[in-house]
Amino acid sequence: MINKIAIVGVGLIGGSLALQCRRKGIAEKIIGVESNVSHAEQAISLHLVDEILSLDEAVETADMIVLTVPMNILVGLLPGILDKVKDQIVMDMGSTKSTLSDAVDNHPHRGRFIATHPMWGTEYSGPSAAVEGAFENKAVILCDTEKSDPDVLAFVKKMYDILNMRILEMNAVDHDLHAAYVSHISHITSFALANTVLEKEREDNAIFEMASAGFESTVRLAKSNPDMWTPILMQNKENVLDVLNEHISQLRKFKSCLEKDNWEYLRELISHANQIRRIIQ
Amino acid sequence: MINKIAIVGVGLIGGSLALQCRRKGIAEKIIGVESNVSHAEQAISLHLVDEILSLDEAVETADMIVLTVPMNILVGLLPGILDKVKDQIVMDMGSTKSTLSDAVDNHPHRGRFIATHPMWGTEYSGPSAAVEGAFENKAVILCDTEKSDPDVLAFVKKMYDILNMRILEMNAVDHDLHAAYVSHISHITSFALANTVLEKEREDNAIFEMASAGFESTVRLAKSNPDMWTPILMQNKENVLDVLNEHISQLRKFKSCLEKDNWEYLRELISHANQIRRIIQ
């Protein structure tokens, strides 16, 4: 489809995209940009990318530049990259969108950029976390698409189509609200649950011998990388706070039922939660 | 190993045990006791059990009686079953132990009973939720084993060994404390997270098109059956309240970081949560 793609940040997302680009023939040559020396070496030795270049070299030579670095770094890099592009396509795959949008909305080359968020990831990070066949059959959000040039939008839609992703379009503000509900709050509950149990473990390390699949399921996101997640929660602070307050108030309903022996209402709360079956199979 | 095993409550746990008993040759004949008529029919048509008998008939004819009904029903049934047993083995597989223990501690046939809790389950229920190969390589807790007759303990250890389970022994009080941390709180966080998101969905039903694997993982336990879970939380009320209070206070730390832009501490909280990697792979 294109000659050269440059992936800036060859970790879980960037590395998994690199694998899919090669498998699906999206680009003939895959360039990595990676400031972490050991990650750069891994990206080559794992055959994720063909070569490692500096950001400036990559921007100059590639037809498409994909940003998959933590959100704070991403927001810092994007305006400078847009300064240098002519007809290249620039895309991000990050988890928050409003701050990023604000950072480039008035940029003269705004049209060369498209903001995207594939709803796929794992709790692992770095090049060794890259997974074959990632993104397939998942949703991807394209944000503020009217601000991207038509050729940019068309190419990126085609690319995600080749990756078998379900494309949804929405503005950056709606994206960040929804992401708080279906992703960011899940991470906070997992982090907090891990800390709750680790606190107890200091007194009593026998408890983990009992850890079940249910526990593992609710706590696995707690393994997620703080370099990725601190900036996400920072940039989506207002939405995350709203959802977190609602979540704490839902937990307090359970607490109140237990304190007051209100078993009928407890049963109702659980039955209501069962309605999540409509949404996840 | 034995001639007849009676499984009282042929649902997720009882049905899965029935499948393993047949596969591993633990009993020649598998009797089901099931008050729900449609579940009883399913238990036969799915070949989980050979026949359905009344509880009294089953207690009279079986060599071993396994109780896998919700905890409130279990606590109600057990003393009456013990009244009738002579040399049969009676075992439960429930999620709480102190209330049950208190209910039979002074029973003249206490020695014929053994309290067990296999750390396996799914969010589904009923006979159709029964799974081939369940329990394998999971932990199982045997409680207050000194109160069971030696032949009862020896048989049940051998049986769980055949199921390839890792046997842990502890008293009922410790069990209930630990179960609150590694199982019961996970269910409450999932129920509350489901209710948080369902509340939002009333205004905005687009949000689930974005639901990711991470969300699904943290919320899947919210599909769990209220008939099972209301009595569990009820019987383990004090421990669950302690853990829930600790969990809410951990969530408040995240809330405070967001409110005060304390990104350094937020990063520390996430890094601390990452230590859960020591416990789950």
* Each residue's pLDDT expressed in tens, for chain A with a length of 281 residues: 899 999 999 999 999 999 999 999 999 999 999 999 999 999 999 999 999 999 999 999 999 999 999 999 999 999 999 999 999 999 999 999 999 999 999 999 999 999 999 999 999 999 999 999 999 999 999 999 999 999 999 999 999 999 999 999 999 999 999 999 999 999 999 999 999 999 887 777 677 778 878 889 999 999 999 999 999 999 999 999 999 999 999 999 999 999 999 999 999 999 999 999 987 87
Closest CB to B193 among A122, A186, A217: A186
The reply to whether A200 and A262 lie within a common domain is yes
Q: What share of chain B is helix, strand, coil (3-state, %, to 5)?
A: 60, 15, 25
pLDDT score of B197 more than 90: yes
| CATH number of the domain residue B239 falls in | 1.10.3660.10
pLDDT score of B229 more than 70: yes
The count of structural domains within chain A is 2
The reply to whether A135 and A25 lie within a common domain is yes
| B10-29 pLDDT tens trace | 999 999 999 999 999 999 99
Find the closest chain B residue to A252 by CA distance. Answer: B248
The reply to whether A8 and A126 lie within a common domain is yes
The last residue of a domain, from among A134, A155, A171? A171
- Report DSSP state, residue A221: G
Share of chain B above pLDDT 90, in %: 91
Residue B255 contacts A where some CB pair is shorter than 8 Å: yes
| A247-266 pLDDT tens trace | 999 999 999 999 999 999 99
Model pLDDT, residue B205: 66
The reply to whether B103 and B224 lie within a common domain is no
d(CA B115, CA B68) in angstroms, rounded, equals 11
The reply to whether B49 and B149 lie within a common domain is yes
The reply to whether A157 and A193 lie within a common domain is no
Spatial contact of A235 and A103, defined as CB atoms under 8 Å apart: no
d(CA B2, CA B17) in angstroms, rounded, equals 15
Tell me the chain B residues in contact with residue A200 when contact means C-beta distances shorter than 8 Å.
Answer: 181, 243, 246
Tell me the chain B residues in contact with residue A131 when contact means C-beta distances shorter than 8 Å.
Answer: none
Name the minimum distance, in Å, from the CA of A237 to any CA of chain B: 6
| B135-157 pLDDT tens trace | 999 999 999 999 999 999 999 99
ipTM over 0.90: yes
| Strand blocks (E) in B84-125 | 89-92, 113-118
Query: Which of A90, A5, A12 lies closest to A51 in space, CA to CA?
Result: A5
The reply to whether A50 and A188 lie within a common domain is no
Mean pLDDT on B153-176: 97
Model pLDDT, residue A208: 75
The last residue of a domain, from among A171, A190, A216? A171
Find the closest chain B residue to A254 by CA distance. Answer: B188
The reply to whether B133 and B198 lie within a common domain is no
β partners of residue A8: A33, A67
| A57-107 pLDDT tens trace | 999 999 999 999 999 999 999 999 999 999 999 999 999 999 999 999 999
Q: What are phi and psi of A167, to 5 degrees?
A: -90, 125
The reply to whether B53 and B159 lie within a common domain is yes
Closest CB to A244 among B213, B255, B266: B255
| CATH number of the domain residue A127 falls in | 3.40.50.720
Put simply, the answer to whether B270 touches A229 (Cβ < 8 Å) is yes
Model pLDDT, residue B228: 96
The reply to whether A27 and A147 lie within a common domain is yes
Mean pLDDT on B163-186: 95
Could you tell me the residue range of the domain that residue A118 belongs to? 2-171
pLDDT score of B202 more than 90: no
Model pLDDT, residue B157: 98
The reply to whether A160 and A179 lie within a common domain is no
A109 Cβ neighbours under 8 A, 6+ residues apart: A82, A83, A85
Model pLDDT, residue A32: 98
How many of the other CB atoms lie within 10 Å of CB of A205?
Answer: 11
